[in-house]
Structure 1
Amino acid sequence: MKLYLVLGWLFGSLTLAYAQEKLTVKEAIAITLENNFDIQLAENTTKIAQENLSLGNAGFLPTVTANLNQNNSLQNLEQIQNSGEVRSMKNAKNNSLNYGLNVGWTIFDGLGMFTRYKVLDETEKRTGIAFKKSVLTQVSDVLSTYYSIVEQKTLLAALDTTIQISADRLKVAENRFEIGKASRLEVLNAQVNLNEDQSNKVRQQAVVKNLKTNLNRLMGRMLTVEFDVLDEVTFQETMLLPNLQAQALTQNPDLQLIAVDKTLAELQLKATKANRLPVIRLNAGYIFSDSESSLGFVKSSNAKGLNYGATIALNVFDGFNQRRNERVSKLQIKSAEILLAQQQQLVESTLLTAFEDYQTNRLLIDLEENNEKIARQNLRITLDKFRIGTVSTVEFRDAQENYINAVARRNAAVSALKRSEIQVEFIAGNLRIAE
């Protein structure tokens, strides 16, 4: 379904020339996906979680350390032997060098390492969902802003039309004044109305410019980049509520995030229970040792060899903290279940409300399009009558303002329908770009 927001001159065609490059919806989305800062941050967070997902980070793999220890001393010594002999030395040197490799490996920790790996896996999944949410949020903001520009730019074109009409009205009033068929007051009123229309155009130009600046910000590029948008608003052909409800339950990012949080709470309980089981750690090392002494029974010694062992640790009593931690973990699971149910209800209600707005806006478009046609036709007739002097300036101005208001309402209806469509698809977790 395609609607074209194109305004023509009431008695012909009004073509507006723009020097800026045309920016399509798909191009805006592509630029956003590449440059948007929020999306980049979310993507970077996802990459961090991917890096953290490893067997070593979960504690499956052993640790290997290399050690080197060099000690030296320079002392004045005096030793008295059992025999009474006295031995002394000034600046006696003592040197020792120890080096080697040590290996430590926790082979069992109550299955805690398996739980930690699952936690890392779920954390990576969570960052992926958060990345998806960031993309959906930024793209929906880009779409809403893009179509707001279309709406406001179309209204700007309507103001150009009414300025031309007001200028035509001023000329007619001046001609009638010159031939004595109108008062000076009629000319002044026409001039005031023309000035008002021109002021409205200046304000409307500022609205369009600010929206373009905001769109540049959302796309993550220079705020001063000049561009223009297409005057076409495209809608999805069909949107079925049952399909959207099914999609929302499986694809809504907020619902997915809370579901992952519930899984993480369950894993936390498993990790807490793992503390009840023993921890078995193996260790081994190969050490080299060299030492020299200037005074003593041993002048030098060298040693090398393997050392190994095992450690078994079991939490026997920790002040009832184990039981407390398990109870807290169970309560956290319960909280996660409540939050999940609450979020599911929120998603369902928000979707129903957004879909109702969507259907209402579809109906309003037909009404506002009809109103615009009537207002345009009324303005044509009123302008013809004004030229021959059969309607007052007040009646003409009313017809002119009715036309502008009808155009604004029609544009607002189109924009509201597009925003409601975007909102519905955002809640369902699946934004589509209509062809």
Structure 2
Amino acid sequence: MKRSKILRIYLSLCIGILSLQMNSQDLLTLNEAVQIALNNNYEIRLASNNLDIDSLSVSLGFAGILPRVFASASTNNSTQFSSQVRADGTEIELDGAKNNNKSYGVGLDWTIFDGLNMFTRYEQLKELKNLGEAELKSTILNRVSDVMITYYDLVQQQQQLTALDSTIVISQQRVELADNRFSIGKASKLEVLNAQVDLNTDRTLFLRQKELYANTKIRLNEILARDTKIDFKVDDDVLINNNLVLTDLETLATNQNPDLQTQLINKRIAELELKQIKGNRYPTITANTGYNFSDSESTLGFARLNNSRGWNYGFSASVDIFNGSNQNRNEKIAKMQLENSTIAIEQQTLTIKAQLNTAFQTYLTNVGLVDLETDNEEIAKENLDITLSKYNIGTIPTIEFRTAQLNYINAKLRLSVAKYQAKLSEITLKQLAGNLSL
């Protein structure tokens, strides 16, 4: 009797503490969790910064289209022993003859033709930016998918905690009933002990589930890149979209899947690389101009002081006549890389279709299991109610009541898992389609 009272008091305290904790926790909705991840997640922030870098790189200057304007200045001074013999035979020697030369000015260099490579490089920079956008989208899809999967995992664990809590209440009632029957001589001590063992078993399952629930919260906080000690609760509902159509998903994946888009962009970059290499067959023509000042002084010589200033301009052209056949090799390599990019697109397309078909079959199965487990949970609940009534009046044995109790709790747990698996399949399909909506 004393042990039974202690167990009841301890159980009441545990349930009371759990209830207070759930009520005191802030509700974190899925929309809020996704928004926090978009703002805080480290991988998303890194991918966003990389996209900013790619965007800054898209410029005419980076591509080499714009001219280079520069300023220059130089000075050269010397002190030497100088000896000169002039045309008339006069010989002059001077120890410590000084020569000072200064020049300064502004200049411009401009590559006006390089086989159109500069324009090809500009297009490459644009495609690299598009590649950064695809990588950012892929990162966002992956991290949002992680958030949604972990969030709905918490939802099903929260549902399982509720189910385990309810079975503890039933087991506690069974202990009390067995204890009362024992006190009036209608039950053996063995029945009381069995009831207490089953209660402790249920409490153990509850504590294990509570531990898993707490650890999953820490995992979600990590994905959200916030303090892992922040406590919260999640919604209890899992709304499943059971109207997904495979052909629609395949169409979306063809147009939006970031991995496929990445391969398409890589092919475009390979095409531009081949075009740029072919451009090396043409000459490079450069124009240059400038305005320079020059001053020179000499203590010995025909001209003691010389000043000049003015414009200079000119053109230069160069073309490779022979470079060890590297031009032909580079073109062949670029063509093979272009062929590889085409193969990669075909492979990625087939892989995505295979993943979609596999995930869709799993999705159909899981949606069907949700309906089946919903009906099964209702049947198990009705069976438990009837069994509990009969047990209270002593018309069925303890083992039959325990079987009905376990059938009910297992049915609730399976329903919770079925809903989570169906939602997981839905998230996977939408992620493959590149359209992961909340």
1:79 pairs with 2:83: yes
AA aligned to 1:79 is: S
Q: Identify the residue that residue 303 of structure 2 maps to in structure 1.
A: 298
The structure 2 residue matched to 1:390, chosen from 395, 399, 416, is: 395
Q: Identify the residue that residue 65 of structure 1 maps to in structure 2.
A: 70
Structural mapping, 1:353-372, within 5 Å? 353-372=358-377
The structure 1 residue matched to 2:290, chosen from 265, 285, 288, is: 285
- For residues 84 and 356 of structure 2, the distance between their equivalents in structure 1, rounded to whole angstroms, comes to 94
Q: Identify the residue that residue 429 of structure 1 maps to in structure 2.
A: 434
Question: Does structure 2 retain, via aligned residues, the 8 Å contact 1:140–1:422?
Answer: yes
TM-score, scaled relative to structure 2: 0.92
- TM superposition shift of 1:294: 3.4
1:316 pairs with 2:326: no
Secondary structure, counterpart of 2:238 in structure 1: strand
- For residues 163 and 324 of structure 2, the distance between their equivalents in structure 1, rounded to whole angstroms, comes to 78
- For residues 214 and 303 of structure 2, the distance between their equivalents in structure 1, rounded to whole angstroms, comes to 90
Secondary structure, counterpart of 1:389 in structure 2: coil
Structural mapping, 1:92-171, within 5 Å? 92-171=97-176
- For residues 420 and 292 of structure 1, the distance between their equivalents in structure 2, rounded to whole angstroms, comes to 86
AA aligned to 2:207 is: V
The structure 1 residue matched to 2:280, chosen from 237, 262, 275, is: 275
1:374 pairs with 2:356: no
Question: Does structure 1 retain, via aligned residues, the 8 Å contact 2:356–2:429?
Answer: yes
Question: Does structure 1 retain, via aligned residues, the 8 Å contact 2:80–2:98?
Answer: no
- TM superposition shift of 1:210: 1.2
- For residues 383 and 236 of structure 1, the distance between their equivalents in structure 2, rounded to whole angstroms, comes to 36
AA aligned to 1:167 is: Q
The structure 2 residue matched to 1:220, chosen from 216, 221, 225, is: 225
The structure 2 residue matched to 1:20, chosen from 21, 25, 31, is: 25
Q: Identify the residue that residue 10 of structure 2 maps to in structure 1.
A: none
- TM superposition shift of 1:368: 0.3
Question: Does structure 2 retain, via aligned residues, the 8 Å contact 1:213–1:223?
Answer: yes
- TM superposition shift of 1:204: 0.7
- TM superposition shift of 1:296: 3.7
- TM superposition shift of 1:264: 0.9
Q: Identify the residue that residue 246 of structure 1 maps to in structure 2.
A: 251
Identity of aligned residues (%): 46
- For residues 299 and 230 of structure 2, the distance between their equivalents in structure 1, rounded to whole angstroms, comes to 80
Secondary structure, counterpart of 2:266 in structure 1: helix
| Cα gap change, 1:368 to 1:237, in 2 (>3 Å) | closer
- Compare 30-39 and 146-155 and name the one that shifted more: 30-39
1:257 pairs with 2:251: no
Question: Does structure 2 retain, via aligned residues, the 8 Å contact 1:149–1:229?
Answer: yes
AA aligned to 1:89 is: D
Q: Identify the residue that residue 180 of structure 2 maps to in structure 1.
A: 175
TM-score, scaled relative to structure 1: 0.92
AA aligned to 2:238 is: V
- For residues 84 and 291 of structure 1, the distance between their equivalents in structure 2, rounded to whole angstroms, comes to 24
Q: Identify the residue that residue 7 of structure 1 maps to in structure 2.
A: none
1:401 pairs with 2:410: no
Question: Does structure 2 retain, via aligned residues, the 8 Å contact 1:89–1:295?
Answer: no
1:43 pairs with 2:48: yes
Question: Does structure 2 retain, via aligned residues, the 8 Å contact 1:176–1:182?
Answer: yes
- TM superposition shift of 1:156: 0.5
- Compare 182-191 and 344-353 and name the one that shifted more: 182-191
- For residues 319 and 237 of structure 1, the distance between their equivalents in structure 2, rounded to whole angstroms, comes to 64
Deviation string, structure 1 residues 359-408 (Cα, Å, up to 9, x no partner):
11111111001111111122222222222222222222222221121111
- TM superposition shift of 1:417: 0.7
Secondary structure, counterpart of 1:101 in structure 2: strand
- For residues 26 and 116 of structure 1, the distance between their equivalents in structure 2, rounded to whole angstroms, comes to 41
- For residues 336 and 170 of structure 2, the distance between their equivalents in structure 1, rounded to whole angstroms, comes to 71
How many residues get paired?
Answer: 418
- For residues 409 and 197 of structure 1, the distance between their equivalents in structure 2, rounded to whole angstroms, comes to 17
- TM superposition shift of 1:265: 0.9
The structure 2 residue matched to 1:336, chosen from 333, 341, 365, is: 341
- For residues 52 and 138 of structure 1, the distance between their equivalents in structure 2, rounded to whole angstroms, comes to 27
| Cα gap change, 1:52 to 1:195, in 2 (>3 Å) | same
Deviation string, structure 1 residues 321-356 (Cα, Å, up to 9, x no partner):
111111111111111111111111111111111111
